[in-house]
Amino acid sequence: MSTQTAPPPAPAPARVVAGSSRRRHHRRTALSAAGFLVPFGVLFTAMMLAPIGYAIYQSFYKVHRQGLFGGAQTTEFAGLDNFTAALHDGDFTASLGRVALLGVVQVPVMLGLALALALLLDARSARLRKTFRMVFFLPYALPGAIAAVMWSFLLVKDLSPFTGPLGAIGIHTDFLSAGWIPVSIGNMITWGWTGYNMLIIYSALQSLPAEVIEAAALDNCTGWRLAWHIKIPMVRSSLVLTTVFSIIGTAQLYTEPAVLAAARIPGASNKFSPIMNTTLTASQADQNLAAAESVLLALVTLVLSFGLLKFTQRKTADA
């Protein structure tokens, strides 16, 4: 059984103590584990935990400047003042509303599409499965900023290959006008992320036990009925997972609207998303307000995603 080819030169006693491998486990002390964990731990603490702590700290303080000409500064505890100010910052709350609306509309569209594609790909009659899978997933591997630069040209009225065909069926729109920009941003996210979500759901479909599908087929349950009654309920956990990821993704929306604003598209605002607002607020020298806004945004996201996870877990447990 031993993987060794030659016996160890000297002290075999360690072997004689034999015991269970479990006991030997204990000799691998916390000390050697720490040796492996510390490099990651230090950077994780410095680059991920510390900024969170710093933002929380900043959000409870206020900087007072004495005199107009950059005299001495004093930092004071401000309680919840920054949070109240954040909730009264119209630009910030409007941006929260925009991403919430975007999330409520775009996430179901994208995940519905991803689920439909995963089911189609899993259907017996699908051809070229590997090619389709690869094509759908491709945009995930490309930078969102570059994709946004691409779309920022592709959606220009005189340039777009879409305006012609859409005009032919009576839809005359300018995708980059103020009213359509949220739709165009939703389109960019859908283009970029549908395949990623599809692949997660598809992997779950692929791991369903073949017997179940066979048994259902014997009962004459095929096609749509098979998908609706058997497959979708069985991949529920992957749907929950993709929903949570999409909520988090929408809450941290930045690249697409930021690129449109940088491209100086007339209808694009540099205050579209909450993160755009926080960076703007900080550059206007109110770091404490910006910190409070970051903390609020993270809290809302955490409550939503964690809440959804817990809620669906409890429902599964009840079932």
Partner 1 sequence: MTSTRSPLTGRLAVNALLGLMALYTLIPLWWLLVSATKGQGYLYKGSPLWFSHFDLGGNLSSVFSFQGGVFSSWLANSALYSLVGAAVSTLLSVMAGFALAKYRFRGREAIFNVILASVLIPAPMFALPLFLMLAKLQLTDTYWAVLLPSFVSPFGVYLSRIYASASVPDELLEAARIDGAGEYRTFFRIALPVMGPALVTIFLFQFVSVWNNYLLPSLMINDSSKLPVTVGLVQWRSEFANGVSPMLPITGAFVSLIPLLIAFIALQRFWRSGLTAGAVK
Is residue 272 a contact point for partner 1 (CB under 8 A)? no
Is residue 158 a contact point for partner 1 (CB under 8 A)? yes
Is residue 263 a contact point for partner 1 (CB under 8 A)? yes
- Residue from 72, 169, 264, 319 touching partner 1 (CB under 8 A): that is 264
Q: Where are the beta strands (DSSP E) in the chain?
A: 61-65, 73-77
Q: Which helix (H) or strand (E) holds 167?
A: helix 163-168
Least distance (Å) between residue 251 CB and partner 1: 7
Nearer Cβ to partner 1 (33/171): 33
Q: Which stretch binds partner 1 (CB under 8 A): 36-44, 70-78, 84-92, 178-186?
A: 36-44
Q: State the amino acid at position 17 in one-letter form.
A: V
Q: Which residue has the tokens 């500064």?
A: 73
The whole-angstrom separation of Cα 266 and Cα 162 is 20
Q: In angstroms, what CA-CA distances link 47 with 44, 53, 252?
A: 5, 11, 18
Q: For residues 195-234, which are near partner 1 according to CB under 8 A? A: 195-196, 199-200, 203-204, 207, 214, 217-218, 222-223
* Residues 6-35: x where in contact with partner 1 by CB under 8 A, - otherwise, as a string: --x-----xx-----x--xxx-xxx-xxxx
- Name the 3-class secondary structure at 280: helix
The whole-angstrom separation of Cα 216 and Cα 219 is 5
Is residue 61 a contact point for partner 1 (CB under 8 A)? no
Q: In angstroms, what CA-CA distances link 278 with 64, 94, 95, 240, 271?
A: 20, 13, 10, 29, 9
Q: Residues binding partner 1: what is the number (CB under 8 A)?
A: 113
Q: Which stretch binds partner 1 (CB under 8 A): 71-79, 98-106, 170-178, 261-269?
A: 261-269
Please tell me what DSSP assigns to residue 135: H
The whole-angstrom separation of Cα 23 and Cα 166 is 71
Give the chain's radius of gyration (CA, Å): 27
- Residue from 185, 287, 289, 292 touching partner 1 (CB under 8 A): that is 287
Q: Is 76 within 8 Å of 61 (Cβ atoms)? A: yes
Q: Which stretch binds partner 1 (CB under 8 A): 92-100, 102-110, 171-179, 290-298?
A: 290-298
Is residue 183 a contact point for partner 1 (CB under 8 A)? no
Least distance (Å) between residue 22 CB and partner 1: 9
- Residue from 79, 108, 112, 143 touching partner 1 (CB under 8 A): that is 143
Least distance (Å) between residue 185 CB and partner 1: 14
